[in-house]
Structure formats: C-alpha cells, structure tokens
C-alpha cells in the first residue's frame, strides 16, 4: 500500500505511525511545504520517502492534514493527479466549504470527507504519537458521493486505527463542532490572554496556577496557523456559539453581583451532568 501524507504534523504523523504498526509493508510518502518538517519526519521514521504531487499517481491512499484554508485550494490539485483507484481523505475540522468546493470535481468519487476528532495541543512531526486515534470518533460527510470500493478501503484503515465512525452532513458537522471543539479553543485562548495580561501586574500569578488552570488553558498552546482558518471558515457557527457562551458568562456574573449563591450552586449542579455525557469518552493525557 502506497500511502501519501500531505502535511506531516501531529495528525498526519500519528496516522503514519499507526498505519506502519498494522501494515509494516506499507510505504509512507510525505509531502510538506516545510522542508524542516520533511527532514524531521524522515529522521523520526514517520515517512519512508519525501515526495511531490508528481508522485501521487502511484498513491493508494492520500491523507491530507493541512490547515483548512490551504486544503480548499490544494484538494482539487490532489484529485487532479491521483489515479482512479486512489482514495483521498482529509482531516479538516470544517467540512461545508471543503465539500462544496469539491462538489463538481471530476474525481469527486475519489474523495472521502473526514474529521478525526483527535489531537493534542502540540504540533509538528515530533508531536506524532502512537494510538492517537484509538477509541476516537471520525465524522464522515457525504459518504454516498465516494466510490464504494474506496469507502471500504478507508473504513478498513479507520477500523484498524480503532476509530468509531459517525455519519453527518457537512452543515450539521460544522454547527455541532463549533460547540464541542471550536468554542473550547476560543475559551482557552482567551483565558490564557486574561491571565497573561494580569500577570504583568501580579508576578506571582503563575506560581499559584494549579492543575485546574493548566488543564483548562492547555488548548491555548494550539497552533494559531491551524485555528485561525477554522474560525474563518466556520465564522457564522462560531459567532452563534460565542453569543450563547457570553450570555451564560454574563448571567453568572450577575448572580455573583447580586449575591445569588443559591442560583450559582444550582447552575453548577445542573451542569455537573456533563460528567454523564462525557463518561466513556477517552481523553488524551498528552
């Protein structure tokens, strides 16, 4: 199996690691505009060869894990050069614009729109880890537009990675993911910003920061180069979630101002049921 990874970072690199684990005979080719990343990926053994788009004609599987704004322009180019029996997978955190861009491409049948919901706050080839996808959900959109035999090949890979599959239309995906992923990252970035600004006047603030702060702000270490395009592509849904979040923050602030501590207790108590919702979802400790 000739597997091409376009974008050798956490997502693509981790997938390369696991594919090698279950299929040692697979040949992994890497394509990246960052030459340092390519060299690092080769030295780490994530890929066997560096490659270019001209080599994609021999691909059986192409995994595209680059920022979503670049993905919109690059996916059509990838599909232009792959052979008719290759399956092209993306790992984008937004789906509507990507799917609409490829809607009328002559090789649309070769593309499977995916979003593996997995990751850490780290980036680059050195961030790649074994087992990143074990037990994680992979959302697939517009599966009916992909050739059945290519669906089967992709699903076999996902099964071996240990992923759970959900099917969803692109618009529903982008709306729901704005709540459970995009808002979380914005909250982390803004919490980090607030603390950094406060730290200018109170030098001891980080000395007092415990594990709760660390786990809450962890996502603020994520790559701005990856997340800015996500917020841009999913702008309307992100704004809607932010408006609801801000309303909840303002209501909580008002309860504190008015000394409504019973209301605060009830609010937190009712929110505790998030434990039941999240129960059984494997969380990355990396």
Instruction: For 170-223, give the secondary structure using H, E and C.
Output: HHHHHHHHHHHHHHHHHHHHHHHHHHHHHHCCCCCHHHHCCHHHHHHHHHHHCC
Spell out the long-range contacts of 190-198 with Cβ–Cβ below 8 A and sequence spacing 24 or more: 191/216, 191/217, 191/220, 192/217, 192/220
d(CA 39, CA 34): 9
Taking only the tens of pLDDT, the chain with its 286 residues reads 999 999 999 999 999 999 999 999 999 999 999 999 999 999 999 999 999 999 999 999 999 999 999 999 999 999 999 999 999 999 999 999 999 999 999 999 999 999 999 988 888 999 999 999 999 999 999 999 999 999 999 999 999 999 999 999 999 999 999 998 999 999 999 988 988 887 766 666 666 666 677 777 888 888 898 999 999 999 999 999 999 999 999 999 999 999 999 999 999 998 887 767 666 555 544 3
Spell out the long-range contacts of 45-50 with Cβ–Cβ below 8 A and sequence spacing 24 or more: 46/5, 46/8, 46/13, 46/16, 46/17, 46/125, 46/128, 47/5, 47/8, 47/16
Q: Considering only CA atoms, which of 33, 47, 43, 45 is closest in space to residue 5? A: 47
d(CA 182, CA 70): 19
**What pLDDT is stored for residue 15 in this prediction?**
96
Length reported for the chain: 286
DSSP state of 73: H
Angle subtended at Cα 211 by Cα 132 and Cα 282, rounded to the nearest 5 degrees? 25
**What pLDDT is stored for residue 285 in this prediction?**
40
Q: Considering only CA atoms, which of 86, 71, 89 is closest in space to residue 141? A: 89
pTM over 0.75: yes
């Amino acid at each position: 199996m000739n597997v091409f990874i376009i974008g050798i970072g956490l997502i693509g690199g981790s997938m390369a690691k696991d594919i090698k684990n279950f299929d040692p005979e697979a040949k992994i080719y890497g394509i990246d505009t960052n030459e340092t990343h390519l060299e690092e990926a080769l030295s780490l053994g994530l890929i066997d060869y560096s490659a270019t788009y001209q080599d994609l004609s021999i691909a059986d599987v192409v995994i595209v894990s680059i920022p979503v704004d670049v993905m919109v322009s690059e996916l059509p180019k990838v599909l232009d050069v792959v052979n008719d029996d290759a399956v092209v997978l993306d790992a984008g955190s937004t789906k509507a614009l990507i799917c609409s861009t490829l809607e009328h491409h002559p090789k649309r049948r070769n593309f499977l729109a995916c979003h593996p919901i997995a990751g850490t706050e780290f980036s680059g080839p050195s961030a790649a880890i074994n087992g990143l996808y074990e037990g994680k959900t992979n959302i697939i959109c517009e599966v009916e537009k992909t050739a059945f035999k290519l669906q089967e090949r992709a699903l076999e890979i996902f099964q071996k990675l240990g992923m759970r599959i959900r099917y969803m239309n692109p618009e529903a995906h982008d709306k729901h993911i704005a709540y459970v992923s995009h808002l979380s990252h914005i909250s982390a970035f803004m919490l980090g910003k607030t603390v950094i600004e406060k730290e200018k006047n109170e030098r001891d603030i980080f000395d007092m920061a415990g594990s709760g702060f660390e786990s809450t702000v962890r996502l603020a270490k994520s790559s701005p180069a990856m997340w800015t395009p996500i917020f841009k592509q999913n702008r309307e849904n992100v704004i809607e979630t932010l408006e609801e979040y801000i309303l909840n923050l303002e209501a909580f602030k008002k309860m504190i101002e008015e000394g409504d501590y019973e209301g605060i207790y009830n609010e937190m108590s009712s929110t505790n049921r998030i434990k039941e919702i999240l129960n059984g979802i494997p969380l990355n400790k990396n």
